[in-house]
Amino acid sequence: PGNRHLPDGESLTYLANLLTVIQPSKTRRAFAPPTADGRPMHQFITSVILIVVIIHVLLLGVAYLILLERKMASWIQDRIGPNRVGPVGLLQPIADGIKFLLKEEFTPPFVDRTLFRLAPLLVIVPALLGWAVIPWGGYFQSDGFSFPSWLPFAGGIATGAFTVNITAVPISIGLIYILAIGSLAVYGVVIGGYASNNKYSFLGGLRATAQMLSYEIPMGLCVLMIILMHGSANASDLVHLQANGVWNIFYQPLVAIIFFTTILAETNRAPFDLAECEQELVGGYHTEYSSMKFALFFLGEYLHMVTGAAFFIVLFLGGWDLPGLREPVAGGLGWVILKTAVFLLKVAALLALMIWIRWTLPRLRFDQLMKMAWRGLIPITLVLLIVEAALVFAGTNLWWMLIANAAVLVGAALVSPLLPPGPPVNRRVPLAGSRFSVSDAT
């Protein structure tokens, strides 16, 4: 209040009370998610186990995600696809990994060697950190257990009843964390293009920078709308709110479509893969890379796809929730495994949709890419945010969000033809000596 300085704890309490006053209670669901009441050591051990398991699942899954993409591409193009290594090609990812490890690693002359080696790491590290706040399987509830007596240091120690969150890092700002970590991937792309001392790679890096920065704006606004609607940036709380109500995709389908579009752009997936457009830039920002450095760029792309799909599922598809599997919210190991399997199946379905889109839609031109962001998605999400803020302030029912989405979509369709067309594109340049030269024609 005023200019009075408050201690940290008092500031947080004051802010929480202020947010409670600002946000009407009608917009919040009458549901309190369970709390992890175990000791910090219980949650720490759970987090360590999750980190070890999920990293290996992701790395193995990414290898076979590449195989899935090659198979789906062959089906769409009426080909056979990989089928020589192992039964129906199931060992092809292992053969590809061995090939990358054994290939000669060539570093071109005149590159910035420090940045050249750093770029693949700057792509892969954010991809390995982004999933840390994803709630994979709800809460694990245990009546307690005792360690075997033969274990060193912990033999014979018994624990009481506890409940832990099946999340590697259960923090209250999980949605903001994913946005922050995901935005770091652009540094690896632009540094890789810059350090290569190659004009095509440099142009690919510049394209990736402009693209990612442009599409992060509507992505952040979409996340802000979900936070505003539910009053929480905690990923676990958001899943539980949907599990005890309705998935957000039914409240805000237009926001879900926009957010999915921004995920494709942020991961450089077609039709937004202008940073590696082979017709114009050879291979793009990774043209000069070989061996495992080249492989790390693609591992980073597919890991970002997995994180983006998991992020979408947390925001709009209820996370681990599946009708008929909602109870108990906190359960034993069997429930945790079942909910984690449901979550991973949703991720696999969304990844298949991303692959399907890549091999179906043609690539956009770069001016069309920028036009879609600045003249389409950003204005629409800004209008949606203002409308939603008014609805939240008025304390209306959440189904009014669906009406607002439909109204904004109809309004955008009506206003779009009235906008100025912009400068012409693909115009012929009057180059002297060419058949398009106006001066020669006269």
Check if the beta carbon of residue 316 is closer than 8 Å to that of residue 118.
no
**Residue 84: how many other CB atoms lie within 10 Å:** 10
Q: What is the spatial distance between Cα 256 and Cα 261, in angstroms, rounded to a whole number?
A: 9
The pLDDT value recorded for residue 154 is 55
pLDDT per residue rounded down to tens, the chain (442 residues): 344 444 444 444 443 443 443 343 343 444 455 555 556 777 888 888 889 988 888 888 888 998 999 999 999 989 988 888 888 888 998 998 898 888 888 888 888 888 988 998 888 888 888 888 999 888 888 776 666 666 665 555 666 677 888 888 888 888 999 988 888 888 888 888 888 888 888 888 888 888 888 898 999 999 999 999 888 888 988 988 888 788 999 999 999 999 999 999 888 887 888 777 766 776 778 888 888 888 888 888 899 899 999 999 999 998 888 876 665 666 678 888 888 899 999 999 999 999 999 888 888 888 888 888 998 999 999 999 999 999 998 888 888 999 999 999 999 999 988 888 777 776 666 666 666 565 554 4
What global pTM score does this model have? 0.83
Residue whose tokens read 């750093």: 118
Question: Is residue 245 helix, strand or coil?
Answer: coil
Question: Is residue 228 helix, strand or coil?
Answer: helix
**Residue 141: how many other CB atoms lie within 10 Å:** 21
Of 241, 209, 214, 222, the C-alpha closest to 178 is 222
Residue 348, C-beta contacts closer than 8 angstroms, at least 6 positions apart? none
What does R_g of the chain's alpha carbons equal in angstroms? Answer: 25
The pLDDT value recorded for residue 407 is 94
Question: Is residue 234 helix, strand or coil?
Answer: coil
The pLDDT value recorded for residue 315 is 93
Query: 87: buried, middle or exposed (CB in 10 Å: 19+, 13-18, 0-12)?
Result: exposed
Question: Is residue 422 helix, strand or coil?
Answer: coil
